[in-house]
Amino acid sequence: MSYVVQRLLTFPLILLGVSVLVFFSIRLIPGDAITAMLGTEAGLLTPAQRASLANYFGLDQPVVTQYFRWLSGLLHGDFGISVIYGKPALGVILERFPLTLELALLSMLIALCVGIPLGVLAATRNERPSDLVVRILAMLGQSTPNFVVGLVIIYALSVWFGIVPTMGSFTPLTVDPLANLGQLIFPAITLGFAFAASVTRICRSAMLDVLGDDYIRTARAKGAAARRVVWRHALPNALIPVVTLSGVEFGYLLGGAVIVEQIFALPGLGRLVLEAISQRDYPLVESAVLFIAFNFLVVNLIVDLTYVLIDPRIRLGAS
Amino acid sequence: MRVLKALLKHPSGRIGAAIIVLYLVAAGLGALGLTPHNALKQFPIDRLKPPSPSYWMGTDLLGRDTFSRLMLGIGQSLVVAFASVLGASVAGSIIGLFAAWWGGLWDSVLMRLTDVLLAFPAILLALLIIAIVGPGTYTSIAAIAIVYTPIFARVVRGPALSLKRRDFVDAARTFGSSQGYILTRHLLLNLVAPLTVQVTLALAWALLTEAGLSFLGLGTQPPAPSLGLMLADSKNLMQHAPWLMLFPGLTVMLGILGFNLTGDALRDILDPRTKARAA
């Protein structure tokens, strides 16, 4: 149990470290926070107004006190007020999160549906032409940045098929599932492209390892059909590294696919961070970054724990 | 030399190395000003010209030669990639070595610090750093270096821990070798193989991140040419001038492919266990 306990114990510690890093790094920004928030408009403030604002935001307190006040607020669900939106930062983040979550899930689905069959195909036809083709495609896929894939998709859709992907607005899944899918499918393909390439490579590699194992030879010797040996005996074991990779990639995607959301003008979490940075909305930057890091840590924790659960060979206690 | 020979015999290593050499030559010529046209000078009369014998890859909205700008853009990307990976590998190796060597509290503190940095999706951490310092080439270098440092620290710490317990390290201690000598000659030298692989793969990732940050307008600032910026500019013109998207896109992809292929080949060469199942 010690590995699981150790992972669970270090989780809040790392989260605390993340909060320290986020809070104090934002305070490293040159100039005072009020000028940073209001930009040129800060010049119009009288000293009394400035002092009043500093008092309102708690900026007249020592920075360590500010940190603990901020942390205490976080623990009570108070992430501060977004300067751009003028409402609680957590609310703004939670409005954007469903899109990001849906996009991440859809991309992962695409990646697994494409990557696993291709990986299995390549491994079962090791060193044959079809294996070589899959390997080349996977390497090209892994080397193509998602913004290149996104631009090519937009170009192909608009020039070859006369379709302009809907941009800017977003229809939630609960309102109109078809319109929602229409808006997310191309960004999801864009994100799923390199993801599928990684899944293909790791699945092929794991399948090659497993196909050489004794129990597979035994299954074959007992006369099990080749298809059954591959899909029922070999694949479940080869999926362990695929699960790990998918979990980690999913964690990254939950962080907001900043570039793809920007290309397709999707109002997701990544684009929110970018907006907050460009408009110097630091309460929102802090909250969004912390929220993303929290999700990322939770997903990684789940992946680690799942890994322990699905692979009995992992000795509990070994990190 | 032996590794280089093996790399050139390896099918994907050969292709990867050829791409890297091609990019280094293009960047070198660009840095010396040996481009077909002035990459920064605007020729409004030649705006949005398609590829032709005089403009091999066409021109942009301001009449600047795409090919010449790509040569400079490759140089810019390589400078950011090499500088950031150099910074990350040096800082990460030092952290990893010290954590492994001193162990105990030092190890715990340093590794928890790397855990904190690894708790951020890479691009987000880079964005946070840019939010603090402001966009620009140097910021990109620093951001990518900081993002990659904990990964190098982890790559070095694991093997360094096992090397530390080996007999030859004990023997060196017995002979009175200094800590610095043991760390550099006995530990670091034995870590060259995993570090080389990691450096090559990190270069691919750094190229990708640099292009991504520039694409978002947070990396290299105009008018300096950058592959990401060129791609971002092409978005609104792609229907009329697809070459503005095609060539920078292919250039970024090929560069990343070059480093990925070389990294994979080096892993095969330096770690024979992976050879049989290399994808």
DSSP sequence for A208-263: HHHHTSHHHHHHHHTT--HHHIIIIIIHHHHHHHHHHHHHHHHHHHHT--HHHHHH
pLDDT above 90 as % of chain A: 33
What is the gyration radius of the CA atoms in chain B, in angstroms? Answer: 22
C-alpha–C-alpha distance, residues B87 and B95, integer Å:
12
B275 neighbors B267 (Cβ within 8 angstroms): no
- CB-neighbour burial class of residue B195 (10 A; exposed 0-12, middle 13-18, buried 19+): buried
C-alpha–C-alpha distance, residues B68 and B33, integer Å:
9
C-alpha–C-alpha distance, residues B119 and A290, integer Å:
10
A256: left (phi over 0), alpha (psi -120 to 50) or beta: left
Q: Do B242 and A252 touch (CB under 8 A)?
A: no
B260 neighbors B204 (Cβ within 8 angstroms): yes
Question: Is cis: bond before B223, omega within 30 of 0?
Answer: yes
| pLDDT the model gives residue A319 | 42
Q: Does B206 touch chain A (CB under 8 A)?
A: no
Contacts of B132 in chain A (CB under 8 A): 25-26, 28-29
Contacts of A252 in chain B (CB under 8 A): 121-122
Phi, psi of A81 (to 5 degrees): -105, 130
More confident residue, A149 or B178: A149
- Residues A186-195: what's their mean pLDDT? 94
Contacts of A201 in chain B (CB under 8 A): 279
Q: Do A252 and B261 touch (CB under 8 A)?
A: no
SS3 of residue A45 by DSSP? coil
Closest CA relative to residue A216, chosen from A236, A201, A245, A200: A236
Contact pairs from chain A to chain B, CB under 8 Å: 133
pLDDT of A285 strictly over 50: yes
Band (A316; pLDDT cuts 50, 70, 90):
very low
Show pLDDT as tens, one digit a residue, over chain B (279 residues).
788 899 889 888 999 999 999 999 999 999 999 999 998 888 889 999 999 999 999 999 999 999 999 999 999 999 999 999 999 999 999 999 999 999 889 998 898 899 889 888 888 888 888 888 888 899 999 999 999 999 999 999 988 988 888 889 889 888 888 888 888 888 888 888 889 989 999 999 999 999 999 999 888 888 888 999 999 999 888 888 999 999 999 999 999 999 999 998 998 888 755 554 444
Q: Do A296 and B119 touch (CB under 8 A)?
A: yes
pLDDT of A318 strictly over 60: no
C-alpha–C-alpha distance, residues B31 and B76, integer Å:
9
C-alpha–C-alpha distance, residues B50 and A243, integer Å:
46
Cross-strand pairs, B65: B59
Phi, psi of A206 (to 5 degrees): -70, -40
Contacts of A151 in chain B (CB under 8 A): 231, 234-235, 238, 245, 249
C-alpha–C-alpha distance, residues B139 and B126, integer Å:
9
| pLDDT the model gives residue A314 | 57
Q: Which ipTM score applies to this complex? A: 0.88
Any idea of the CA torsion for B153, B159, B164, B168, to the nearest 10 degrees?
Answer: -140
More confident residue, A162 or B156: B156
C-alpha–C-alpha distance, residues B277 and B279, integer Å:
6
What the block records as the tokens of A273 is 């961070």
* CB within 8 Å of B244: residues ≥ 6 apart: B58, B60, B66, B230, B233, B234, B237, B238
**pLDDT, tens digit (0-9, with 9 covering 90-100), for A210-254:** 988 899 889 888 888 888 888 888 898 888 889 888 988 898 888
Chain B residues 12-51 within an 8 A CB cutoff of chain A: 12
Nearest to A289 among B113, B124, B278 (CB): B124
Closest CA relative to residue B75, chosen from B198, B208, B224: B224
Give first-to-last CA distance, chain A, whole Å.
Answer: 11
| pLDDT the model gives residue B143 | 94
Band (A301; pLDDT cuts 50, 70, 90):
confident
B60: left (phi over 0), alpha (psi -120 to 50) or beta: beta
Buried b (16+ CB within 10 A) or exposed e, A189-219: bbbbbbbbbbbbbbbbbbbbbbbeeeebeeb
SS3 of residue A57 by DSSP? coil
Q: Does B263 touch chain A (CB under 8 A)?
A: no
Contacts of B150 in chain A (CB under 8 A): none
Query: How would DSSP label each residue in A262-288?
Result: HHTT--SHHHHHHHHHHTT-HHHHHHH
For residue A148, the chain B residue with the least C-alpha distance is B249
